[in-house]
Amino acid sequence: MYSNTGGHGETGDDIMHDRPELQEQTGAAGGDIGDGRPNAQGQAGEPGIDTDYGQPGQGEQPGRSDEQSQSGQNSSDEQSSQHGQLGSDEQSQSGQSGSGGQSQSGQSGQPGVDGQSSGSGSDEQSSGPGSGERNTPQDTGEPPGEPGSDGQPSQWEPDYPGYHVTVNGSSSGDGSIERPWDLATGLSNDLIKPGDIVYIHAGTYKGAFNSQLYGAQNAPIHVRPWHNDAVIIDGGGYMVSNSATPGVLVFGGRYTWISGITITNSATNHYTDYANDKSYDGVHFIGPGNKLINCIIYGNSGNGIGFWNPAVNAEVSGCIIYHNGVIGPNRGHGHGLYVQQGTGGTKTIRSNIIFNSFGKGIQVYGTGVEIHNTIIEDNIFYDAALAAGALEQSVYIGGILRANNHIVRNNVFYASPGRSGTHASAKFGDTYGNTPPQSNGEAVFSGNYCVDSFLHITRRWERVTARDNTYIAKSGAERIVVGYDVFDYVAARDYDRNTYHRGMLGENSASGFALFPLSAVQAEPWLQELSSVYNDELPAQNALFVKPAGVGADAGRWHVAVFNWAGSRSVSVSIPGLATGAGYAVFYASGLQSGPIAHGRYNGSSITIPLSPAPTDIPRGMGTHASRFTGTLPEFGAFLVTGG
C-alpha cells in the first residue's frame, strides 16, 4: 500500500514508493489463474470493431444510448503502448518547457511503423525502442544492451519447443520454425494444447484477427514474441471495410495469455471516424481466464480494450493504453478500457499506464447488466479525455443497475493544470441509487495518490471505504479534493488516515452546493477523519512510484511515476529486480514513438531519469487540435523502464 511517509511537505530525499511484492501477484481475485509454466507468457489477440458505447451484455444492446445517463460526460479513451513497440503513424511534438524528465521501464520493444515526431516543431521520422533512428538519449557511457534490444539483452531462451508464426507464414505450414503458420492459423488451431507456447516473429501483421485457443487453468496457452521481437498487429484499412469485426484483436478462447504485442489501427482518423461510423476497439476481450500482459494498445478508433462480461476471472496487466477513441459532436468517445463484469468471477486491471484517451480512463458501466467485482490496482492514470479537449474521470464505476464490490487501490492519478473538465480520479455511482430504496453495494478507494484529481461519491452506497489516500490540490487551495452529491447517501462510511495538501471538500446536496475547508474534516465528528493529516502547503519532496509490470517470463519491465515537487532536473530511481550490470532503457510514456530518453547498465543502486520536456506523441488526424498534447514534464512524468 502507498505509504504516507513524506507526505507532509518535509524536505529531504525523494520518497520512493515501490511494490516489489506485486511481482508474485498474477491471478485475478475471485479465482486466480495458475500458470503451470513460470517461464511462459500470454498470447495476442486480433482486430475487430468496437465502439466506446458499450458491448452487449445480458439484456443489453450495443449503441450510444447507454451513456446518456452519465451527465453528458465523455466516454472515449486513447491508449498507450508498452514494450516500446508502437504501431503506425503517430506524430510527436515537444513538451512543456522546464527541466526535463525521463522514465524507466521493464523490457524493451520497438515502436511500430510510420511514426512521426517533432522535437522542435518539425516533423521527423520517429523511432521507438529498437527501430532505427531515434532521439539522442542521455548516455551513461555504457551500451544499451545487445544489438537491437534497446537496453535489454535477450534474457529468455525457450526450455522446450513451441509453435511459430511469421508474417510470411502459411495455413498449410505445420507451425515449426521451418514451416511457420500465418497469424490467423497460430491463434486458432486445434493442434495447440494447454501449456503450449505460440511464438510470433517480428513484423507488422495487417488485418483483424480472432484468438480462439483453449488452455487450462493450471496450464494456460502462451502467445508471445519470439526473443522479444517487435510484433505489431495493425487493423489498417481492413478494419474500415469489415464492419462485422468488433476489434483489431478478438481475444476469445479461454486460459490464454497474450503478451508483449502492440495492437493499433493505422487507418484511424480520430477526428473524422465518428462521423464516418468507424469505431473499432483495439482488443475485444471475451475469453474467461485470459490475460493480456505487457502490451501496447493505442491509436484505435473505439475503446483500447472492450473488457466484456464473458471474460470472467481475466486480467489486463502491465499494458500501456493511450490515444484510443474519436471526437464526437459534443464529446469524446472511446475509453482506455470499457469494463462489464457480472456477479460471477472478477476482473483485475493491474500495473498499467492509461492516459490521453478520448473518453474515460476506465469505465465500468452497464445498462442491462449489474456490474460487480473489479480490482483496479497499481495503475498510473493521467489526463483522461485530454484528446477530446476536456478532462474526464480516470475511473468511472456505476450504471443503470446495481454496482457492488469494486476496489480501486494503490493507483497514481494526475491531471495537467489549466485543463477544463471534471478532473476526477474516480467516480463511484451513476444512475442506480438515485431513488430509495435503491442502493449500490460496497466500494473501496485506498492507498491512492491523487494530484488535482478528486474522489467523487455519488448516489447511494451501502458502504464506502476511503483510507490511506493522499489528495493534493496543486492548482489552488479552492480545488475540490473529495466531493459528494449528498454526504448521507453513504450508509456506512470508513474515511480516515488520509493525507491532504490544500483543497476543499464539496457537497452538492438538495439544499445547494457547499464547500468545507479541510479543517472541517477533523473538527466535524460527522466527517469521522480523526486520524487524517492536513497541510496548507504542497509537498516539498519528490514522490516516486515504481510498479513492476510483469512476472516470470514477462518480467523485466517497470512503470515509474515521478511527481517533481522539488523542481529537480532529474531523479535517481532504484529498480527492484534489475540485476547489477544489466542493460536498461527508459521511455517517456507520452512519447514512446521517439525512442528511449536514457539507457545504460544498472549499477545495482539506481538509474537516472531526466525530467526535462521530451517529444510527445500526437494522435492521427488531430489537425489544429494537436496543440492539446504539450506533455506533462517537468512537473510529472510516467515512464516505462525495460531491462534484464
Average pLDDT rounded to a whole number, residues 94-108: 34
| pLDDT, position 159 | 46
pLDDT at 174 over 80: yes
pLDDT at 67 over 80: no
Rounded CA separation 185/69 (Å): 42
What number of CA atoms fall less than 13 Å from residue 113's CA on the CB side?
A: 14
Cα angle, residue 595 at apex, residues 593 and 600 outer, rounded to 5°? 160
7-16, 248-257, 285-294 — which is least confidently predicted? 7-16
Average pLDDT rounded to a whole number, residues 465-487: 85
| pLDDT, position 192 | 97
Three-state SS annotation for 532-547: CEEECCCCCCCEEEEE
**Per residue in 12-36, pLDDT tens?**
356 666 433 333 333 333 333 333 2
Amino acid identity of residue 527, one-letter, is L
Please, which residues have CB within 8 angstroms of residue 103's CB and are 6 or more apart in sequence?
Answer: 560, 562, 586, 587, 588, 589, 597, 609, 637, 638, 639, 640, 641
| pLDDT, position 563 | 97
| pLDDT, position 618 | 86
Rounded CA separation 412/638 (Å): 10
183 φ, ψ (degrees, to nearest 5): -65, -40
**Contact of 556 with 155, CB cutoff 8 Å:** yes
Three-state SS annotation for 203-265: EEEECCEEECCECECCECEEEEEHHHCCEEEECCCHHHHCCCCCEEEEECCECEEEECCEEEC
Alpha-carbon distance values, 191 to 194, 215, 306, 427 (Å): 10, 12, 28, 46
Prior bond to 634 cis, omega within 30?
yes
Mean pLDDT of the chain: 75
**Strand ranges (E), 497-597:** 499-501, 504-509, 512-517, 533-535, 543-548, 557-563, 570-573, 583-588
**Contact of 402 with 430, CB cutoff 8 Å:** no
| pLDDT, position 197 | 96
**Strand ranges (E), 313-369:** 314-317, 320-322, 326-327, 332-334, 337-339, 347-350, 353-355, 362-364
Residues listed for the chain: 644
Rounded CA separation 238/242 (Å): 6
**Which band of pLDDT confidence, cut at 50, 70 and 90, is reported for residue 635?**
very high
CA proximity to 396, closest of 142, 59, 70, 138: 70
Strand partners, 100: 612
Q: Read off the C-alpha cell for 129.
A: 525502442
| pLDDT, position 182 | 98
Helix, strand, coil percent values for the chain (each to nearest 5): 10, 35, 60
**Residue 521 CA to its chain's centroid (Å):** 32
| pLDDT, position 541 | 96
State the residue for C-alpha cell 459528494. 484
- Looking at per-residue pLDDT, the higher value among 187 and 527 belongs to 187
pLDDT at 533 over 60: yes
- Looking at per-residue pLDDT, the higher value among 202 and 275 belongs to 202
Percent of the chain with pLDDT over 70: 68
Q: Read off the C-alpha cell for 636.
A: 510529472
Average pLDDT rounded to a whole number, residues 46-72: 32
Rounded CA separation 408/411 (Å): 7
Average pLDDT rounded to a whole number, residues 208-224: 96
**Residue 534 CA to its chain's centroid (Å):** 30
CA proximity to 587, closest of 128, 88, 263, 96: 128
**Per residue in 397-450, pLDDT tens?**
999 999 999 999 999 999 887 666 566 688 898 888 778 888 999 999 999 999
pLDDT at 54 over 70: no
| pLDDT, position 420 | 61
Average pLDDT rounded to a whole number, residues 543-568: 92
**Per residue in 333-351, pLDDT tens?**
889 999 999 888 999 999 9
Cα angle, residue 252 at apex, residues 248 and 253 outer, rounded to 5°? 145
Most confident of 374-383, 468-477, 550-559, 618-627: 374-383
CA proximity to 598, closest of 84, 92, 104: 104
CA proximity to 451, closest of 602, 324, 532, 565: 565
| pLDDT, position 273 | 55
Under the phi-then-psi rule, with left for phi > 0, alpha for psi from -120 to 50, and beta for the rest, what region is 89?
A: left
| pLDDT, position 14 | 66
